[in-house]
Every structure is written in structure tokens, then in C-alpha cells.
Amino acid sequence: MPGVQDIHLHIGRAPAKRNLGSMTAWAAQFPRSLNSTQMQNVLSSEQSGMNEVLADAYVITGNDDYPSLARQFNEKSEHDPPTRRRAILNG
């Protein structure tokens, strides 16, 4: 998805914007079909970035469903500790 996003942003190709919308719709199936624990298990092997691309898709398309979708791709083990002011990094 980031590559399609980059094509739209840097080259301005309209098909890339449509493809980004299609790919975002494809990504939306995962939080809909998985419970919270299953989704977190998926995210433990996903190397981040989906939430950022989905948030950017909102900026590009203006689709009001995308910010909520982006938050569903937040990995709780990374995002929750800082909100509780807890350090999780060594050093």
C-alpha cells in the first residue's frame, strides 16, 4: 500500500488513488473478521506502517471511516505503554 500511496502523492496518478481506496477496503476485512486478540496476534508479526498508511489514506481520500480503521491497526504492546507513561525500551 505505501507504494501505491507514493505513486499518487509524487506522480499524481488518479488510478493510484482509486487503487489505494480498493486496498484500504481490502485491509478493512481483517479487523471486521478477527476479534481483538486475534488482531493483536496478526499485528505482532506485521512490521508496523499499516496504521500510518491508513491514516494517510484518510488525508488523501477524505473517507471518514479511515481514521477509525487506522486505529484498529495500532499494536497495543507498542501504543499502550507510552499512554500510561511507562517506558518499554531498554536503556
pTM of the model: 0.69
Determine whether 43 is exposed, middle or buried from the number of CB atoms within 10 Å of its CB (0-12, 13-18, 19+): buried
Give the model confidence (pLDDT) of 40-74 as tens digits: 888 887 766 888 899 999 998 899 999 999 988 88
Cβ atoms of 77 and 86 within 8 Å: the answer is: no
pLDDT, tens digit (0-9, with 9 covering 90-100), for 13-44:
788 888 888 999 998 998 888 898 898 888 88
Residue 1 has pLDDT above 80, yes or no: no
Q: What are phi and psi of 47, to 5 degrees?
A: -85, 40
